[in-house]
Chains A and B, each alone.
Chain A
Amino acid sequence: MLRSGTSKASRRNVLKGVGMATIGASLPPVGSALAQGAPAAKGPKLLEMEGKAKLAVLGDKPLVAETQAELLDDNVTPTNKLFIRNNGQVPDVTGDPKAWKVKIDGEVNTPVEISVGDLMSKFPAVTYQLMLECGGNGRSFFSPDARGNQWTNGGAGCPMWTGVRLADVLKSAGLKSSAVYIGSYGADPTLAGETDKPTISRGVPIAKAMEEHTLIAFKLNGQDLPLIHGAPARLVIPGWPASVSTKWLKRIWVRDKEHDGPGMGGFSYRVPKTPIVPGSKGNEKDMAILESMPVRSVITFPADGSKLTSRKLDLRGHAWAGDFEVKTVDISTDYGVTWKPAKVDAPANKYAWQNFSASIELPTTGYYEVWAKATDSKGVTQPFQAANWNPQGYGANPINRIRVLVES
């Protein structure tokens, strides 16, 4: 039982082998490189896009690309290494970014259409380091396969975001007492090219919308948002599935009930209330919205598949836990038999990931798996294998594993 779980996670987790070129060898034959008609190179297709690093392409229509674990090593995720997730097409955004308008309507006293320029001049600017994490992050660790983009742990990043607080904007429009939820809309056309229908429209309860770290952001790492990351304005609602952090933000509809746009119902961004048989169809009526993302740790150095010349292993990585803080990260080099605490730094601010590091003396030369397991402020830790299987594969956060070989 445990064995099959570990092998599964390890196999998928472990893609980042001896070098980029070998990554594909650890992927199953289907779904790997040939998908894009790329030359017969091994490994997933690597992104070739101006302004972006060679991320692993999970799909290119729509474009979806994840950040390989070793590229997540920076303490603040550089813009070129931030993952890409699109649901539809990328809209045309031309002209003066400050003239771009965002509509606030619904349960407010004064519905407004406010320009980005006015948002910038009327409300105080704030900058935070905030997690952005795809709701499906970790999906590839489910066994059997769950439906969707097969993320390992790279649908996540923690850059600096600058913008205004959504709370300030909503307050100025005057929230009615009937306001309980928001639903947000972006300008991205559907995959079929329609611009009159939303590609996706998700939302959060009003309390989450009013948190001080929930932003309408204009800048990413101090620069204007790149188009692919939602220029000229996007929501950043940290700690929750990134599909609520609407790119190319056009409208915030304040609702008097739970938002019901595309992406809010059925199996989308939901997990079973009652555990279901893995691989079964599930019951749409017994699902709950995935809100806070689960606790997760990722070893970003060394890369999986590294050969070491010394038994001394200095490793590092990041851990995060949705709305919560990471309390501890433990490291095992003997398949979970014994654990040793890593050093865990405080977050730069709430919703920033936390750096961890450990210095470990491996007992011998030879082959080792190095496991990392984070535990959050509620005492909730990472499971040995992806749990609570669901058809669309949300919430997979098994213990992180890398493989190393000590040679001399």
Chain B
Amino acid sequence: MTRINITHAVVVTLTATFILLAFDRAGELRKDKYVYAPPAPKAAPVAAAEPDPDKGKPPPHNDKVEDLPEGKNRELTFYTCTACHGVALIKAQGLTRELWDSTLDLMVDKHRMPPIKAEERSEILDYLAEHFPPRRKGRGSDNPFLK
């Protein structure tokens, strides 16, 4: 009796696995998911001694416009800021418009950002001040024991 049950279980499990694998290979289970396309592999080094200049470096990283919250002037802000640094740095800030304004000064004066046209600067500031204003800090609902 027991033997028969185990055999059944094995057969059913294996059959299910094969069916799932078949679907998976056909892409049926991953239809709408973003498919990661790895960068083309580098040409195999001709000389074995060729050092890899990327060894020990941080993993590659790319932000997308969608990583910033939707809103007017999002694209302008994205392309202006991420020419140099990542979106994470923007999103970590919560500043008044005045401090965002002086942040752009800092970028131009100290970090070699090309000067921005007055109109574009104003649009970028509109976006930043709206989406990344000073945050209210305080003991709110973030207590780990309230979950």
Contacts and interface: CB of A to CB of B under 8 A. Distances in A.
Interface in A174-204: 190-192, 194, 197
Is the interface on chain A under 10, 10 to 19, 20 to 34, or 35 or more residues?
Answer: 35 or more
B84 A58 contact: no
Interface residues of B, number: 49
Nearest to A199: B111
Given A49-B58, A305-B144, A31 B103 contact: no
Contacts of B84: 190-192
Contact of A145 (B53, B110, B135, B147): B135
A18 B143 CA distance: 10
A145 B85 contact: no
A87 to B, nearest CB: 9
A391 B135 contact: no
Interface stretch (A89-97, A252-260, A343-351): A89-97
B59 A31 contact: no
A100 interface: no
Nearest to A52: B58
Interface string A43-67: 0010011110000011111110000
Nearest to A8: B137
B51 A94 contact: yes
Contact of B94 (A145, A304, A305): A145
B139 interface: yes
Contact of A60 (B64, B86, B98, B140): B86
Contacts of B99: 147, 279, 281, 391
Contacts of A280: 98
A14 B87 CA distance: 24
A128 B128 CA distance: 45
Given A12-B137, A25-B147, A262-B110, A147 B95 contact: yes
B138 A8 contact: yes
A60 B93 contact: no
Interface stretch (A108-116, A225-233, A288-296): A225-233
Contact of B145 (A37, A148, A226, A305): A305
B61 interface: yes
A92 B109 CA distance: 27
Interface string A225-251: 011100100000000000000000000
Contact of B144 (A18, A30, A266, A267): A18
A367 interface: yes
From B63, B85, B92, B131, residue with most partner A Cβ within 10 Å: B92
Contacts of B106: 147, 266-267
Interface string A138-168: 0000011101111000000000000000000
A90 B55 CA distance: 10
Contacts, number: 163
Interface in B58-95: 58-59, 61, 63-64, 66-67, 82-89, 91-95
A145 B58 contact: no
A59 B112 contact: no
Contacts of A304: 144
A63 B83 CA distance: 15
Nearest to B137: A8
A281 B102 contact: yes
B115 interface: no
Given A59-B88, A61-B61, A267-B106, A192 B95 contact: no
17 contacts: A4-B138, A11-B142, A17-B144, A31-B94, A35-B87, A57-B88, A61-B82, A86-B58, A94-B53, A144-B94, A149-B92, A191-B111, A263-B110, A266-B109, A267-B106, A279-B134, A281-B99
Given A34-B67, A61-B61, A266-B110, 14 more contacts: A27-B142, A31-B92, A35-B88, A36-B86, A50-B56, A59-B86, A61-B86, A63-B61, A192-B84, A228-B56, A265-B110, A279-B99, A281-B98, A281-B102
Interface of B: 51-53, 55-59, 61, 63-64, 66-67, 82-89, 91-96, 98-99, 102-103, 106, 109-112, 131-132, 134-135, 137-140, 142-145, 147
Interface of A: 4, 6-8, 10-12, 14, 17-18, 22, 25-28, 30-31, 34-37, 45, 48-51, 57-63, 84, 86, 90, 92-95, 143-145, 147-150, 190-192, 194, 197, 226-228, 231, 262-263, 265-268, 279-281, 304-305, 307, 367, 391, 403, 405
